[in-house]
Chains A and B, each alone.
Chain A
Amino acid sequence: NAGVTQTPKFQVLKTGQSMTLQCAQDMNHEYMSWYRQDPGMGLRLIHYSVGAGITDQGEVPNGYNVSRSTTEDFPLRLLSAAPSQTSVYFCASSYSKGSGNTIYFGEGSWLTVV
């Protein structure tokens, strides 16, 4: 049982490039989400999904796309990378969206945009 797996761990992009951060969970969780972590800002929700085929925006969705074709996978796409997207990205999952469900986080993906 691997939990939440993110790849890559580290990535350097040039401004304007696109890329996809991969996320997979093996706990059969319905709810998956992406957060970004910046110094002094805590964890901010980018996008989330309550099940396969359903996605919605969080607090800071601009510049990112997501899709949820299967229960297990929830990739995050950066359409045209900007230096402001330099951050640590965490994928997370929980049994459902409801209050009280433990959120399990991946190990993080460190992204630098130059």
Chain B
Amino acid sequence: GENVEQHPSTLSVQEGDSAVIKCTYSDSASNYFPWYKQELGKGPQLIIDIRSNVGEKKDQRIAVTLNKTAKHFSLHITETQPEDSAVYFCAAPDSSYKLIFGSGTRLLVRP
């Protein structure tokens, strides 16, 4: 089945710096890769996703890149702000289209 690994588990950056979170997946048939943000005490919320027919997608300060050959995808946050502090999850679908989540990255943006 699908296995999603996410790194790092924690990330601390200075406000204004960039943050990068990386995920690898095992099922080469996977074709959809979402990223979720979980704020303290809340449920995860979709922030960006990418499909296998594109290599990069941007939405203001966040971007996701996909390397299908290497089976990894990354979340990039530029000009980080304190409100970006949260737990971020990547995910990929298994062969029956159920999303398998990574273990999460706790991002702390220091003012």
Contact = CB atoms under 8 A, between A and B. Distances in A.
A105 interface: yes
B31 A43 contact: no
User: What bracket does the count of chain B residues touching chain A fall in?
Assistant: 20 to 34
Contact of B43 (A97, A100, A106): A106
Nearest to B31: A99
A41 interface: yes
B93 to A, nearest CB: 5
A41 B97 contact: no
B43 A90 contact: yes
Interface in A32-57: 33, 35, 40-45, 48
A105 B98 contact: no
Contacts of A90: 43-44
Interface string A52-90: 000000100000000000000000000000000000001
Given A105-B43, A107-B43, A100 B102 contact: no
B43 A99 contact: no
A102 B48 CA distance: 10
Chain A CB count within 10 A is highest, among B31, B49, B103, for B103
Interface in B1-56: 4, 6, 9, 31-32, 34, 36, 41-46, 49, 51
Interface in B60-111: 89, 93, 96-104
B46 A102 contact: yes
21 contacts: A40-B9, A40-B103, A42-B89, A42-B104, A43-B44, A43-B101, A43-B104, A45-B100, A48-B98, A97-B96, A98-B97, A99-B31, A99-B32, A100-B51, A102-B46, A102-B49, A105-B43, A105-B44, A107-B42, A108-B42, A108-B43
Given A45-B99, A108-B43, 11 more contacts: A42-B4, A42-B103, A90-B43, A98-B97, A99-B32, A99-B93, A103-B36, A103-B99, A105-B36, A107-B43, A108-B42
